[in-house]
Chains A and B, each alone.
Chain A
Amino acid sequence: MRDQHAAIAWNRFGLGARPGDTPPADPQRWLLDQLANYKPRPSTIASAPGSSEMAARARDYLQRIRALMGGGAGRRGPMANETSKLGDDASKRDEQQAIRKAIRQQYRDGYGQQVRARVSQALSTETPFAERLVHFWANHFAISVDKAQTIGLAGPLEFEAVRPHITGRFVDMLQAVERHPGMLMYLDQAQSIGPNSRLATAARRRQTRRQPGLNENLAREILELHTLGVGGGYAQPDVLELARALSGWSVGGFVRRPLGVEAPDGSFVFQPAWHEPGTRTLLGTRYGQEGEAQAHAMLQDLAAHPATARHLATKLARHFVADMPPPALVERLASAYHTSGGDLMAMYRVLISSPESWVSTNPKFKTPWDWTISALRATGTRQSPDLRIVAALNELGQPVWRPGSPAGWEDVAESWAAPDALLRRVEIAGRIAAIVGDRIDARSLAPRILPGVLSPATSSAIARADRPEQGLALLLASPEFLRR
């Protein structure tokens, strides 16, 4: 029983055991202590390029393009397609293509460094439960790097807006994320202009070709994904009112429009001339604030809404406990959130102390990320060696920070337990074992990392393997290692 609880703490709540780990004597205490010892900005994370550095790279690119074109590319975003403005001057086009290729490469390099930082942190951390919470919340506030502007900003969003707040109040994380350049760029908020703002009014007077306007993308996803959730009681007019309140929330250095105030590259900026003036009504409450404070107040109220408590409670329980989370547990988690004023620690304490969290069957099929990280940890890997890990996660169907939509990765077995996906896990288990397998005896490793959980069938398959690497591959591909 005690062995089993240690295995649950390691696997269901953590990132899997490493060869030298000692089973915690008090698994619940072990999890809680991690939250006290958690480091938001350890050196592995601090050394990866952040949003200001990525923005500076984009700014440099813009300047080079402008110099090339004699100052003509003023009003476009850094990744917009500039070919149309270059006319048919072939040599300029070639040079411009070379610059674009270079910046794309720089962006990809930045992304690669950020992925390696995330992997290294997951492999070396002493607080794996806290890291799991980081991954959980980053997926809750997912952005996807398949948009050119966000290739280098998904890592910074996690590092700068999520990590500092996982043990604090949800509303602080919410505010930090919605102001982060990664989110503002990904959901097209950075260029959203109120139709009666000073900028839009001026554009109408001048009859410019492209009239600026609202973009409701971020507003909708805040309501649907980040706070209330589907069925949380909002309707299309609420989406529009939140979008109007958010107009003017933008990013320095990335977006150039008339009447804008200057701001440092890659930092949040409120643009008063783009903001839709007037009082707004969201979910029946009137917001008379001026400017930036209006959407800020709306986010405060959304975070405190009972629908948000239920939405977050359901997702947290689904992530850690079961695809169909026990309703009583969800109820207790939601109530802990609500009565504590949105304190995430209060929710985690309920999660850890609930009997539903400690059932002995392995109810969750690991995601490709969880499985890959736990496999590398089981083999004693402490550093992300190179970008092979990125390639492996692509093949397994879960490239880092690229869920393809703001809903993030799905968190149920049906999304991951599929024929081809299983085959690839066995292939990758074979590849990991080929690298480290000759140094590891899977026969003694298996009972140490899966105490009380290892099945006789897996034990005997490992024992009958024809060489050490094959035994290790079978351990990593075994049913009890695929689940948590």
Chain B
Amino acid sequence: MIDRRRFLGHAGLAGAALLTPGLALAAASGERRFVLIILRGAMDGLSTVMPVGDPAYAALRRGFGPPAMAGAPITLDGTFALHPSLAETGKLFAKGEAAFIHAVASPYRERSHFDAQNVLETGGNAAYALKDGWLNRLLPMLPAAREPAIAISTTLPMALRGVAPATSFAPSKLPEADADLMSRAGALYESDPQLHTLWTQAMEARSLAGDKAEGRGNPTALGALAATFLAQPQGARIAVIEMTGWDTHANQPGRLAGLLRQLDGLINSLRTGLGPAWAQTAVVAATEFGRTAAPNGTGGTDHGTGSAAILAGGAIKGGRVISDWPGLAPAQLHEGRDLRATADLRALFAGLAAEHFGLDPAQVVRAGFAGAAIKPMTGLVRGQS
């Protein structure tokens, strides 16, 4: 176990050396915030960012659109419309603070949630090829923050697991134990390396959360809680938030409308909670794979391939749907059933991290994504070509 203080000092030096020279951004990159939202269960990208301009879409999805009570789809451009439950995100898009990546997937091409989430979070080429998370491996390259990266959950998601310090925190409904018991437990853990590290991080997170520690566990509250950590002048700069329930094998239209409304609330509570720091923020929401192009026999969709990813934040060069659209005609589908992926989530993550923090993209690919043969996306962040 690495001593935290020594590690941060070390990481600060390494981080400085890795900054691309000459970028005006470099000096300010310590103010940059990055939020990864993991949508577990496979979000149906075709219902989220709907390719209404593709004639094959109407044929595939007739009678399977958003429920009427959710409102009318929001037109994004000549091809795509946004699910009406993402109303606030739609407003951000109109202001140029949100963008969508479509027909995107990780390199994984099978259909197991668990393997796919492992690939999504480890940044490896195959499931279980790497033992830690891509975001954790990028942490030493980032400007030193006083507080470690934080997951808004009781335990650490794979994306943040690894040797670099990361902590977790979630709203609790428990009354706090008395301070004396806390300090005695802390003392008892001092000679146990694993427990001592966990305890130290827990104490720091709790003191930073303040009154938000009592919040309830809905996504909007989680967004507000994450914003509390990220907004502090010396606080965390990296946060991971998880949302589950996207595995809509049955009765999809109604369930998805509710899930997207929650996601919309999460993004909006990040924006309001971050205040002026929103201008320095990049949020990316991604899922492990997409769902079948055609509905199944039970009013839902089965495991597929390409999906959509959402970018939001004042730092994002938004107002665009970024897609090399592969089409939904039968011959254009992957294995005759799924939206084909024409973009790689690793290229999105690597490009976004590099531009947002002023890092060398090749370094990001080496550290975060096993040196894979991917071309990091460019032009995702304002002020970047």
Interface residues of chain A, those whose CB is within 8 Å of chain B, are: 80-81, 146, 187-188, 191-193, 195, 200, 209-217, 220, 224, 230, 236, 239, 391, 395-397, 404-405, 407, 414-424, 426-431, 457-458, 461, 465-466, 470, 473-474, 477-479, 482
Residues of A within 8 A of B40 (CB): 404-405
* CB of B161 closer than 8 Å to a CB of A: yes
* Contact indicator A418/B114 (Cβ below 8 Å): no
A237 nearest CB across to chain B (Å): 10
A191 lies within 8 A of B194 (CB)? no
A sample of 8 inter-chain contacts (CB < 8 A) reads A191-B250, A211-B297, A214-B296, A395-B173, A414-B161, A430-B178, A473-B177, A479-B189
Q: Which residues of A contact B201 (CB under 8 A)?
A: 419
> Does B122 interact with chain A (Cβ within 8 Å)?
no
Residues of B within 8 A of A416 (CB): 155
Contact of B112 with A479 in the complex, beta carbons under 8 Å: no
B3 within 8 A of A: no
Chain B residues touching A, majority SS = loop
- Once A and B bind, how many residue pairs between them come within 8 Å at the CB atom? 159
Q: Which of B169-201 contact A (CB under 8 A)?
A: 169-170, 172-178, 180-182, 184-185, 187-189, 191-192, 194-195, 198-199, 201
Complex: how many Å from CA A397 to CA B175?
16
Q: Which A residues lie within 8 Å of B298 (CB)?
A: 188, 191-192, 213, 215
A395 contacts B172, C-beta separation under 8 Å: yes
Q: Which of B52-60, B299-307, B325-333, B341-349 contacts A (4 or more CB under 8 A)?
A: B299-307
Pair B154/A397 contact, Cβ less than 8 Å: yes
**The one of B154, B173, B187 that contacts A421, using a Cβ cutoff of 8 Å:** B154
Specify which chain A residues have a CB less than 8 angstroms from the CB of B167 in the assembled complex: 419-420
Taking beta carbons and an 8 Å cutoff, which residues of B are in contact with A?
40-41, 63, 110-115, 127, 153-156, 161, 167-170, 172-178, 180-182, 184-185, 187-189, 191-192, 194-195, 198-199, 201-203, 205-206, 244-245, 247, 249-251, 254, 296-300, 302-303, 335
Flag if B174 contacts A230 (CB, 8 Å).
Answer: no
For B169, give its contact among A80, A217, A419, A479 (CB under 8 Å): A419
Report yes or no: A420 in contact with B202, Cβ–Cβ below 8 A: yes
* Interchain residue pairs A-B with the least CB separation, the first 9: A213-B297, A419-B202, A430-B177, A397-B154, A418-B155, A419-B201, A423-B202, A427-B177, A188-B249
Chain B residues with CB under 8 Å of A81's CB are 251, 254
Chain B residues in 8 Å Cβ range of A236 = 110-111, 335
Q: Are the C-beta atoms of A209 and B188 separated by less than 8 Å?
A: no
Main secondary structure of the interface of A (DSSP, over half): helix
* CB <8 Å contact, A422 and B297: no
Contact assessment for A419 and B198 in the assembled complex, using a CB-CB cutoff below 8 Å: yes
* A418-B195 in contact (CB<8A): no
CA distance A477 to B188 in the complex (A): 9
Residues of A within 8 A of B111 (CB): 220, 236, 239
Q: Given the interface contacts A209-B63, A217-B249, does A420 sit within 8 Å of B205 by beta carbon?
A: yes
Bound together, the chains give a CA A470 to CA B183 distance in angstroms of: 12
Q: Which of B127, B175, B299 has the most CB of A within 10 A?
A: B299
The residue of chain B having its C-beta at the shortest distance from the C-beta of A217 within the complex is B249
Chain B CB within 10 Å, residue with most, of A192, A427, A458: A427
Whether B184 contacts A465 by the Cβ 8 Å rule is: yes
